[in-house]
Chain A
C-alpha cells in the first residue's frame, strides 16, 4: 500500500513546475509531498508564519537555509523568527565556541535574507507581530503552536522545522488537522475543582499542570474546566510549554478563558467526551517528575523558557530588589531582544543585573552551547527547561516557583516552599 497524492490547484502545479522560481519549486515539492502525511487531500492559504527552522543544529540546518537563499527564496507571508543558535551580540560572555557562533550567525543571516521579521524569540505571541484570532498560519516551535491555537485562536498544525519555512515560501499548507474547525474540539475534560484557589492563582501550578496534561493525555485536545480566574498570559504560556514538551499537545481549551471555549459545550463543539477530575496527588506526582535530583546545591538558576516577558521581568525585579545573588550561583534569564529593550527602558533590567543576574537573548541554553560541556545542577521554574535539560545539557534539575528560584539564588542552596502543594 502507498500513500495517496494531494490534489493541487493550477497555481500549485505552476509553482511545482518552477514558474515562480527554483526556491518556490523546492518548497512546494516539500509541502506537496508532506500533505498526505497530514491527511490532507488539498492545500490552503496561510496569512502568517512563525519559523523554527532558525535553530542551528549543525552543518545540515545551515546548508538547508543557505541552499534556500541561493535558490532566491523569499517568504510569501509575514514570518516571525524563533530562537537562533546564538546570542548574536552577546555570545562572547558565555562558553560558545567561535566556530559555532559564526555558523549560527550565518544561519540567522540566511533567514533574514528570506525577508523574515528578526524577532528571534520562542514567545512570538508576546510581540507586536503576533497573528490574531481566526488567522490560518504555519507555526513551528511546539510552545508557540499550542499558544497560537489555544490562547490566540489562530490556526496551525504542528509544523516541524524545515517545513515551516517551506510553507511560508509558498504561502500554502496541507488542509488538515487544526486548520479545520472540527478538529479543534476538546477530546477530554480535565476538571480542576479539587485544586485549591490559592494554587490555581499561583504561577507554579501552570508548568506542572502542563506537564501533567501532556504526559498523561498526549494526542488530546484537553479542556481545562473549573478555573474561576483567568490565567495570565504568562501562565497560559507555561501551561502550553509544559504540555507541548511532555506530550505533543498542540491545542487546549480553558473554559471561560480561551477564545474557542466560552463555555464547556462550545469547547467540545457539542461532543461527549470523558471527564477526568484532577487530584492533588496526581499533580504532586507530576511536580515531582520535573525534579531529577535530591542535591541541595545548585550552579545555575535558569528562567525564561519560553522567553521571559516584560511582566515576568517586573515580577523578578520585585523579588530581587535590594538583594544579592549568592556567589556560587548564576541566575540566568533567557529572553528576546525586544523584551530586554523594554525591560532596560522601564528599569527592571537594571535591578536584575544589580542583583547579579545575567540576561541572554535571541536563543537559550537548549539551542546554544553557552554553559560549555561541564555537568550543571539547574534550578528552574520552567517545565520546558526541566523536561529537556537532563538530555540536552546533561544537567540535573530542580523545579520550583519563581520565588523558590530567587530564594535559592540568594541562599546558594535549594529553598522550596511547598505550602501550596500540600
Chain B
C-alpha cells in the first residue's frame, strides 16, 4: 500500500479505479468530454488523461454551472469517474451524483478530505505518473492507494 487516509462521506458508496490527482480545480464544461471521459481543459495538469472509471481527486470544480450537465451525460454514457475525492463540499459534483442516482441509479461516491490529504495524493500520483496507482474508496470514507 502506498497511501491511506479518510474523509467525510459526502455521497456514500464504495469504488475503485486508477488514481488521477491534481491540486487544480477543473470545470467539466469545456474540461471533460462526456463521450470519451478525456480531460480536455488544455490548461489543466490532467489534460489528456481519461477520467472514465477513475478515482478523480481534485480540490473542487470551477467556472461554468454546466459542469453538472456534463457529468450527468458522462454518467449516462458510462464515461464518468467512479468516485470523487475533493477538499470542499463541491455542490456541482454532489448534484450530478444526486440526479445521476435519481435518473440512472448510478450515484458517484464522493469523499471530502483535508487539504493535506489531497496534497499527499497529488504527490503519490506525480511520483508514479505512469497511471499505475489504484485507489479504493470504502463506504465509511476510508481511502487506500496501492499499486496495480
Contacts and interface: CB of A to CB of B under 8 A. Distances in A.
Interface in A286-337: 292
Contact of A159 (B8, B29, B65, B69): B65
B98 A34 contact: yes
A161 B68 contact: yes
A162 interface: yes
Contacts of B29: 388, 392
B30 A388 contact: yes
A58 B8 contact: no
Contact of B95 (A34, A55, A367): A34
Contacts of A246: 63
Question: Which range holds the interface residue count of chain B?
Answer: 35 or more
B88 to A, nearest CB: 9
B50 to A, nearest CB: 15
Contacts of B41: 391
A37 B89 contact: yes
B76 A55 contact: no
Interface in B61-76: 61-70, 72-73, 75-76
Interface residues of A, number: 48
B62 A247 contact: yes
B52 to A, nearest CB: 15
B68 A248 contact: no
Given A52-B66, A244-B63, A162 B95 contact: yes
A53 interface: yes
Contacts of B31: 391
B13 interface: no
Given A2-B12, A58-B73, A391-B41, A142 B65 contact: yes
Nearest to A243: B63
Contacts of B34: 57-58
Contacts of B98: 30, 33-34
Given A53-B69, A160-B95, A247-B62, A3 B10 contact: yes
A107 B102 CA distance: 19
Contacts of A391: 30-31, 40-42
A38 B91 contact: yes
B65 A67 contact: no
B32 to A, nearest CB: 9
Contacts of A3: 8-10, 89
Interface string B79-113: 00000000001111011101100111000000000
Nearest to A164: B65
Interface in A56-88: 57-61, 63-64, 67
A120 interface: no
B137 to A, nearest CB: 14
Interface in A34-60: 34, 36-39, 52-53, 55, 57-60
Contacts of B60: 248
B129 interface: no
A241 to B, nearest CB: 11
Contacts of A159: 65
B33 to A, nearest CB: 9
B25 interface: yes
Contacts of A59: 73, 76
Contacts of A225: none
B17 interface: no
Interface in A124-141: 140-141
Contacts of B76: 58-60, 63
Nearest to B35: A58
Nearest to B42: A390
A161 B69 contact: yes
10 contacts: A1-B141, A3-B89, A30-B102, A160-B91, A162-B68, A162-B96, A244-B63, A245-B64, A247-B62, A366-B30
Interface of B: 8-10, 12, 25, 27, 29-31, 34-35, 40-43, 60-70, 72-73, 75-77, 89-92, 94-96, 98-99, 102-104, 141
Given A140-B65, A248-B63, 4 more contacts: A58-B77, A64-B72, A64-B103, A392-B40
